[in-house]
Amino acid sequence: MGDYQVLNTRATRVDGPVKATGQAKYADDFKFQGMLYASILQSPLAHARILRIDTSKAKKLPGVKAVVTSKEAGLIKYGVSPARYDETLFAHDKVRYVGDEIAAVAASDPDIALEALSLIKVDYEELPAVFDMFEAMKEGAPLIHDEFPGNMNAEVHQEFGDTEAALQSCDLVVDHTFLNKRQDAAFLEPHSCVAVFENPGRLTLYTSTQVPHYVMRTVAMTLQIPVGNVRVIKPYVGGGFGPKCEATPLEMSCGLLSKITGQPVKMTYSREQVFLHSRARHQFYAEMSLGVMKDGTMVALRNKAVLDGGAYTSFGIATVYYSGSLLGGPYKLKSMKYDGYRAYTNKPACGAQRGHGGVAHRACFEQLIDITAEKLGIDPIDMRLKNIMVTGDMTVNELDMSSLGMKECIEAIRAGSGWNNKKGKLPKGKGIGMACGFFVSGAGYPIYRSDTYHSTVVIKLSEDGGVANVMTGSAEIGQGSDTAMAMIAAETLGIKLNDVRVYSGDTDYSVDLGAYSSRQTLMTGHATKEAAEDVKNQIASYLAQELNVPVASITFVDGIVKFDGGPGNFEKLRTNYIKEHRGWTDPPTGEYLTFREAARMAYLKAGTIVGTGKYKPPRLGGSYKGAAVGTSPAYGCSAQIVEVSVDLETGEITVDGMTDAHDCGLAINKTSVEGQMQGSLSMGLGECLFEEVKFDSRGRIINPSLGEYKIPTALDMPKVKSIIVESHEPNGPYGAKEVGEGAIMPTIPAILNAIYDATGVRINELPVTSERLFMAMKNKT
């Protein structure tokens, strides 16, 4: 690694103190003069024709300021991918799931808003509904969208090489299936938004989102406000994990109601509404066959996916592509075939969640590798190492592994967990398992077709020259991106981290596509670095001219300026600086020219110092249909070993230890990298062992609370050994790449492989509750 002053350390987060003291403001913490409170009426039925909506009583309730339905909102279709805009703000002809939005109310008080909702009368004609993805695809199933026969929302067919022929040439072909359950992201902060519509026609949203840029575009489109008049400000966000990656009915309703009433409008979802809005992890069914040679060489993979999409598309097109494309590595394959189907059902729409599209299929594939290794009598680690990709390899579907420390990750967890002394040597009831995975460092293309830069950054120096203000539209959602950008700016400028301030999450600051697909470290990082270099060059050029020295002789390190590595002769500048600033309390001292002096003098000369940076990836990927999904300038990778104890009498599982190694390129902030790794493992553990959004026979969620939908507590998580593996990523800023999502890829299969090791029972359906494992053990004997 390079010789860094700021990067690659354990810096404390720039937002740590405000978050530790309760000063950090989240959307629901905002209050405005004259603010109204809004609420949304949601369908109690899973599938019904709307015959009539009567809002007259609600409108008459004292305190109600506006009631809106599709009549006021219009029927402009929106969604995530323009190819599948299938939602309108409010349902008009029919409702398609319990929770579908029908109307919204703004009132002077939240209780009045709720009372008004109860006064809206909707007449429905209930229609037959379908809740199971396989049922939905059958002939004669109730049709959810007229435009999509067979409830087929999206279909993907890809083949690289001749897979059937390759499978036939193999010594052994092993099959496996896998079924996960619909998940909820369970971020702690429910969606919340305050919309402020001001004359002449400008709308500002303060909203809990991962993607201010996309929210701006969607809200402008659906509310028919010129996009230049919509500003989205993301305050601190209490977690996103994917479902906050798209504009919500909450945001659009607040905007519309503020536009109509001329008053600020706030709405916050209840926890139940967070579950109803969903947009979280799909249910996936995976069916796979892996063909290998006797020596363990992997040859061909046949992969089929069925996704339960819920009632709308959301991110689903990308999801169904990812389930195929993210299996191309990190093992060498000669051929791969993928058939994916995403079905509409009468349930809340699913979307993106950490490890988008890849998690369930990775779980299936990594189990399949273990099953195959056992049949061949090969150690699971050796089996993987035999087929592992290395830096410079290209997957069969043309994903370029420009850096890949996968092998190093595997070696690190093997040593770190004591695998060699444990595998095959543990008593019955104890087990050890491993798995690998990789993920993109930012999607190679925006969601909509555009030549836009994915990130732009502006760095503006303060008038005194002492502070670099980094302005970016990127989204700090807890992952630590503000701190990472501050560190990159400080390193590049050669100043102290304390002398950088980050202003982020505002569409007025810059273009940034936001916090999804683990893109910000790489993409916003590039733009930040370039903006800082621009500032630095401006100051260096000024110094070169003033002091008559070559630009190349000037370096900035740790807040001071060096000339040919030494103090140089800068007396003239310091004298001028002191003359200029008589009476200021902090005159510069020391044998070196300070950055503040240099920047201040350059500022005086130029009038202002502003640097800009921008980034978009080069054209990536193959030319086949859907080649864009899965492309990225870089890929992070991860390997994990999990140790479990299983109570063989009851099926109760205890995860005793987890060892995780992740290659994130250069670790910008080691503490944050570990935080992402540990958080990913916790989410994966929850999905594997307890999480499942459950429905009754009429499509109503029966566990829409954090008491009934169980996520891991402090008592469920074992101690995690986190090992950071650093490769050098040529396409990343300072060699950095992702960590936020790749780290969840191996968790589920590593646990499942450990359970198999402990019990001899292969579980292929989540969550692995005690009951499920107990029944599986019982059926085996």
Partner 1 sequence: MKRIIKLTINGKPVETAVSPNQTLLQFLRDDMNLTGTKHGCGLGDCGACTVILDGKAVNSCLVLAIQADNSEILTIEGLAQDGKLHPIQQSFVDKGAIQCGFCTPGMILSAKALLDQKPNPSELEIRTALSGNLCRCTGYQKIVEAIGEAAEVIRMREES
Nearer to partner 1, 493 or 500 (CB): 500
The piece of 39-47, 264-272, 327-335, 555-563 that touches partner 1 (CB under 8 A) is: 264-272
- Least Å distance between CB 19 and partner 1? 3
Q: Which of 22, 62, 228, 565 binds partner 1 (CB under 8 A)?
A: 22
33 binds partner 1 (CB under 8 A): no
Closest by alpha carbon to 495, among 468, 527, 463, 529? 468
- Least Å distance between CB 659 and partner 1? 13
The piece of 96-104, 219-227, 295-303, 673-681 that touches partner 1 (CB under 8 A) is: 673-681
d(CA 104, CA 293): 61
Secondary structure (3-state) at 130 = coil
715 binds partner 1 (CB under 8 A): yes
Q: Which of 9, 29, 610, 700 binds partner 1 (CB under 8 A)?
A: 29
632 binds partner 1 (CB under 8 A): no
Q: Give residue 505's identity as a one-letter amino acid code.
A: G
Q: Which of 705, 765, 771, 778 binds partner 1 (CB under 8 A)?
A: 705
What is the per-residue burial (b if ≥16 Cβ within 10 Å, else e) of 644-682? Answer: bbbeeeebebebebbbbbbbbbbbbbbebbbbbbbbbbb
13 binds partner 1 (CB under 8 A): yes
Q: What is the DSSP letter of 512?
A: B
Q: Which of 2, 19, 60, 83 binds partner 1 (CB under 8 A)?
A: 19
Name the token pair of 554: 């000037």
- Least Å distance between CB 574 and partner 1? 34
d(CA 61, CA 63): 6
d(CA 453, CA 344): 33
- Least Å distance between CB 426 and partner 1? 24
Nearer to partner 1, 655 or 666 (CB): 655
Element (H, E) at 642: strand 635-646
188 binds partner 1 (CB under 8 A): yes
Pairing of strands 500-503, 455-461: unpaired
Q: What is the DSSP letter of 628?
A: T
Binding mask 438-477 toward partner 1 (x if CB under 8 A, else -) reads ---------------------------------------x
Q: Which of 263, 273, 303, 682 binds partner 1 (CB under 8 A)?
A: 682
190 binds partner 1 (CB under 8 A): yes
d(CA 390, CA 405): 7
- Least Å distance between CB 644 and partner 1? 17
753 binds partner 1 (CB under 8 A): no
The residues near 275 (Cβ < 8 Å, ≥ 6 apart) are 184, 348, 693, 701, 704, 705, 709
- Least Å distance between CB 479 and partner 1? 7
Q: What are phi and psi of 710, to 5 degrees?
A: -95, 125
Q: Kindly report the number of other CB atoms within 10 A of residue 409's CB atom.
A: 29
d(CA 465, CA 483): 21
Q: Which of 139, 149, 719, 781 binds partner 1 (CB under 8 A)?
A: 719
Closest by alpha carbon to 763, among 437, 353, 433, 338? 433
- Least Å distance between CB 377 and partner 1? 35
707 binds partner 1 (CB under 8 A): yes
692 binds partner 1 (CB under 8 A): no
- Least Å distance between CB 30 and partner 1? 9
Provide the CB-side half-sphere exposure for 639 (13 A, CA): 26
d(CA 375, CA 174): 9
- Least Å distance between CB 661 and partner 1? 15
762 binds partner 1 (CB under 8 A): no
Element (H, E) at 249: helix 249-261
Q: Which of 33, 585, 618, 714 binds partner 1 (CB under 8 A)?
A: 714
**662 neighbors 738 (Cβ within 8 angstroms):** no
**71 neighbors 77 (Cβ within 8 angstroms):** no
Burial of 128 (0-12, 13-18, 19+ CB in 10 A): exposed
d(CA 353, CA 583): 56
Nearer to partner 1, 63 or 239 (CB): 239
Number of residues that bind partner 1 (CB under 8 A): 57
Residues 638-667 that bind partner 1 (CB under 8 A): none
**152-160, strands of its sheet edge to edge:** 152-160, 335-344, 298-310, 283-292, 172-179
Q: Which of 187, 331, 344, 577 binds partner 1 (CB under 8 A)?
A: 187
The piece of 184-192, 533-541, 559-567, 752-760 that touches partner 1 (CB under 8 A) is: 184-192
Nearer to partner 1, 36 or 306 (CB): 36
Q: Which of 1, 2, 4, 20 binds partner 1 (CB under 8 A)?
A: 20
- Least Å distance between CB 271 and partner 1? 4
Give the helix, strand, coil percentages of the chain, each rounded to 5: 30, 25, 45
- Least Å distance between CB 187 and partner 1? 6
**61 neighbors 119 (Cβ within 8 angstroms):** yes
243 binds partner 1 (CB under 8 A): no
Q: Kindly report the number of other CB atoms within 10 A of residue 548's CB atom.
A: 8
- Least Å distance between CB 3 and partner 1? 24
The residues near 328 (Cβ < 8 Å, ≥ 6 apart) are 160, 336, 395, 396, 397, 399, 630
Q: Which of 268, 283, 319, 403 binds partner 1 (CB under 8 A)?
A: 268
235 binds partner 1 (CB under 8 A): no
Pairing of strands 230-233, 430-440: unpaired
Provide the CB-side half-sphere exposure for 500 (13 A, CA): 32
**553 neighbors 564 (Cβ within 8 angstroms):** yes
Nearer to partner 1, 271 or 501 (CB): 271
- Least Å distance between CB 270 and partner 1? 7
Q: Which of 2, 4, 17, 415 binds partner 1 (CB under 8 A)?
A: 17
- Least Å distance between CB 183 and partner 1? 12
Burial of 272 (0-12, 13-18, 19+ CB in 10 A): middle
Pairing of strands 283-292, 202-207: unpaired
271 binds partner 1 (CB under 8 A): yes
Q: Which of 1, 2, 4, 25 binds partner 1 (CB under 8 A)?
A: 25
- Least Å distance between CB 236 and partner 1? 6
- Least Å distance between CB 24 and partner 1? 5
186 binds partner 1 (CB under 8 A): yes
Nearer to partner 1, 373 or 744 (CB): 744
Closest by alpha carbon to 320, among 342, 346, 289? 342
537 binds partner 1 (CB under 8 A): no
d(CA 388, CA 437): 11
Q: Which of 514, 633, 679, 733 binds partner 1 (CB under 8 A)?
A: 679
Nearer to partner 1, 374 or 716 (CB): 716
Nearer to partner 1, 604 or 706 (CB): 706
269 binds partner 1 (CB under 8 A): no
Nearer to partner 1, 283 or 680 (CB): 680
Binding site for partner 1 (CB under 8 A): 10, 12-13, 15-26, 28-29, 31, 185-190, 236-239, 241, 268, 270-271, 477-480, 671-672, 674-675, 678-683, 705-707, 711-715, 717, 719-720
